[in-house]
């Protein structure tokens, strides 16, 4: 379906979703949240899509944050509902989509933009990108689970520093603290992101899903319980046709052709 604030392109098992509000530096408003929800539901239901890239239009911004015009008019109850709506969409991307998502961060990723990137499976940043949670400078706190994902990704001390000061960091600083997976020249960002997406799209879809579930859910469990959960998923993977194809291809010294079954 067509979107007003998003552009979706599909090719060779990879969907590229571009947030398109250049006049607002791709800031997220309520309509964009609704469109992101629908787009990712579509990706989940489309078996031909095996990996997703998320980026922003233009060179300045991935997503510059929430739309301040909307925030300025919010009541406390509307703000709570807005936060929950964003959290639900980002949780769907991270936990329920069951397909790897790459944030190709082409510019500033602030506030809701940083939170969107953190919900993705991988973050590849242009060397010109910047990251931050500047909500404190507006008398606010992160609302799309930024206080939770940031601490889990970079640790409590660094998360406190970024959230309480509101100061942005460069792509190289984000790499140093583990917020991003890699930093590349801006001109190479989409090629690098597409190469990773194509590589992931060739993997066994069910094995990817189980591996992501093991990591995401296991981090919230006691270690012994997480190991049991991993073993259960390992058993489920062994039962798939893809496992049989993968082992057969290895023995026959050829590339496997995974079907997601």
Residues annotated as catalytic (active site), given as ranges: 115, 135
Please tell me what DSSP assigns to residue 103: E
Q: Single out the residue of 207, 214, 201 nearest to residue 245, CA to CA.
A: 207
At residue 28, the 3 state secondary structure works out as strand
At residue 240, the 3 state secondary structure works out as coil
**CA 206 → CA 50, 154, 201, distances in Å?**
10, 28, 11
Q: Single out the residue of 45, 44, 56, 54 nearest to residue 20, CA to CA.
A: 56
Q: Single out the residue of 132, 137, 97 nearest to residue 118, CA to CA.
A: 132
What percent of the chain is helix, strand and coil (3-state, nearest 5)?
55, 15, 30
- Look-up: residue for tokens 């590229």? 16
- Look-up: residue for tokens 């600083």? 173
- Residues 34-55 as b or e (16 or more Cβ within 10 Å = b): ebbbebbeebbeeeebbbbbbb
For the record, the structure tokens of 107 come out as: 């510019």
């Amino acid at each position: 379906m067509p979107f007003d604030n998003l552009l979706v392109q599909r090719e060779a098992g990879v969907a590229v979703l571009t947030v398109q509000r250049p006049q607002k530096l791709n800031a997220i408003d309520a309509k964009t949240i609704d469109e992101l929800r629908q787009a990712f539901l579509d990706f989940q239901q489309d078996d031909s899509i095996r990996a997703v890239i998320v980026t922003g239009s233009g060179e300045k911004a991935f997503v510059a944050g929430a739309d301040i015009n909307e925030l300025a008019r919010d009541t406390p109850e509307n703000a709570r509902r807005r936060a929950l709506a964003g959290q639900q969409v980002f949780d769907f991307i991270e936990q329920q989509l069951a397909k790897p998502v790459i944030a190709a961060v082409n510019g500033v990723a602030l506030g809701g933009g940083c939170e969107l990137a953190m919900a993705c499976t991988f973050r590849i940043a242009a060397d010109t990108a910047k990251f931050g949670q500047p909500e404190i400078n507006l008398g606010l706190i992160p609302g799309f689970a930024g206080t939770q994902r940031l601490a889990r990704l970079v640790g409590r001390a660094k998360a406190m520093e970024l959230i309480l000061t509101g100061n942005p960091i460069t792509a190289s600083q984000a790499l140093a603290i583990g917020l991003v997976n890699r930093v590349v020249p801006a001109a190479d960002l989409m090629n690098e992101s597409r190469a990773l997406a194509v590589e992931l799209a060739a993997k066994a879809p069910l094995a990817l899903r189980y591996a992501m579930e093991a990591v995401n859910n296991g981090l919230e469990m006691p270690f012994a319980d997480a190991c049991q959960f991993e073993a259960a998923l390992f058993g489920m993977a062994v039962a798939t046709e893809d496992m049989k194809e993968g082992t057969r291809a290895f023995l026959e010294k050829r590339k496997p052709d995974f079907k997601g079954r």
